[in-house]
């Protein structure tokens, strides 16, 4: 498998209170990769290091077919980036911003930019400083898509936007990947919105990557089990046991990497499995964070 972004043992010390620690991130080429984590978990710092905006203290960063930050000028010409904070000149009109951006990218596609202006209902004569937050978000996405990058990196692109604007933006991203076989890394703490579009997911917490897998594996393999009669100590399990909590006369187990044939495990330890409950991405995300932050309590 090839990777559009790959980090190996990445370390970056942002301050004495926060460090990216031995981060091994692998974003498969052609995927829509959801980079999840609470605010302050390290998503933006990781993105900035990956794009050569910050220099790592140790480790390796590969982007497309080169390394960062050494190959940054060549690689960034093939990357579309939407930062967490808008960087648009408020005195420009939308049309002026498009022409300004087009001057930096040989792959810029005027026809696509015109299509997106109509699709996003943006007026090229409007001044950027007078656009709404949603309109500015659409303009940033337009700029990233019209330059036809092989890799798009989007840092919280829909944070604070209304549901209609979010859906417009996400639909445009899915369409772009299907047409250009591009790769998208999209960071967010809004888990539910990424569940619909991402095929890979990475979860970061306190500067550590605590999970990385295909979206289907996380959703299909993360379950809540109702168990009775299990011994206090259990032998090696065929699944990953994330949490075990008392629940009335029985227990609730939260597990990862579950498959239906694993039900036979419980009779082997003298226990009864009463129920297997599906979890959505947000439930699985929360359980992974709980286990990461307090393994003993889990």
Q: Is the pLDDT of residue 297 over 90?
A: no
Instruction: Read off the pLDDT band of 125 (50, 70, 90).
Output: very high
Q: What is the pLDDT of residue 296?
A: 55
Number of domains making up the chain: 2
- Three-state SS for 109? coil
Based on the fold, state whether residues 181 and 38 are members of the same structural domain: yes
- Sign of the Cα torsion 264, 269, 274, 277 reads negative
Q: Is the pLDDT of residue 11 over 80?
A: yes
From 174-188, 219-233, 276-290, the region with the lowest mean pLDDT: 276-290
Cα 12 from Cα 16, distance rounded (Å): 11
229: left (phi over 0), alpha (psi -120 to 50) or beta: left
Query: What residue numbers bound the domain in which 49 lies?
Result: 3-213
Based on the fold, state whether residues 157 and 257 are members of the same structural domain: no
Q: What is the pLDDT of residue 243?
A: 85
Average pLDDT score over residue span 265-278: 94
Average pLDDT score over residue span 160-187: 89
Q: What is the pLDDT of residue 289?
A: 84
Based on the fold, state whether residues 145 and 164 are members of the same structural domain: yes
Q: Is the pLDDT of residue 266 over 80?
A: yes
Tell me phi and psi for residue 173, to 5 degrees. Answer: -70, -45
Portion of the chain with pLDDT greater than 70, in percent: 98
Based on the fold, state whether residues 260 and 119 are members of the same structural domain: no
Please report whether residue 298 resides in a domain.
no
Based on the fold, state whether residues 168 and 91 are members of the same structural domain: yes
Cα 192 from Cα 217, distance rounded (Å): 16
Please report whether residue 294 resides in a domain.
no
Based on the fold, state whether residues 115 and 56 are members of the same structural domain: yes
């Amino acid at each position: 498998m090839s990777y559009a972004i790959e980090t190996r043992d990445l370390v970056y010390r942002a301050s004495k209170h926060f460090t990216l620690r031995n981060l091994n991130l692998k974003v498969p080429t052609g995927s829509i990769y959801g980079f999840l984590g609470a605010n302050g978990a390290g998503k933006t710092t990781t993105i900035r290091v990956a794009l050569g905006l910050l220099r790592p203290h140790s480790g390796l960063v590969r982007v497309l077919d080169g390394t960062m930050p050494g190959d940054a000028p060549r690689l960034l010409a093939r990357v579309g980036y939407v930062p967490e904070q808008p960087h648009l000149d408020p005195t420009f009109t939308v049309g002026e911003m498009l022409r300004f951006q087009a001057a930096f990218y040989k792959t810029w596609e005027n026809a696509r930019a015109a299509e997106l202006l109509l699709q996003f209902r943006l007026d090229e004569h409007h001044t950027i400083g007078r656009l709404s937050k949603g309109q500015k978000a659409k303009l940033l996405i337009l700029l990233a898509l019209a330059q036809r990058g092989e890799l798009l990196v989007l840092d919280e692109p829909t944070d604070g936007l209304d549901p209609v604007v979010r859906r417009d933006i996400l639909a445009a991203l899915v369409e772009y990947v299907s047409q250009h076989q591009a790769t998208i890394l999209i960071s967010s703490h809004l888990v539910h919105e990424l569940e619909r579009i991402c095929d890979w997911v990475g979860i970061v917490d306190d500067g550590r990557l605590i999970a990385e897998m295909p979206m289907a594996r996380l959703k299909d393999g993360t379950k809540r089990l109702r168990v009775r009669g299990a011994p206090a100590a259990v032998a090696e399990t065929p699944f990953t046991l994330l949490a075990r909590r008392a629940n009335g006369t029985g227990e609730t187990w939260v597990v990862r990497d579950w498959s239906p044939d694993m039900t036979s495990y419980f009779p082997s330890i003298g226990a009864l499995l009463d129920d297997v409950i599906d979890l959505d991405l947000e439930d699985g995300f929360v359980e992974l964070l709980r286990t990461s932050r307090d393994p003993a309590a889990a």
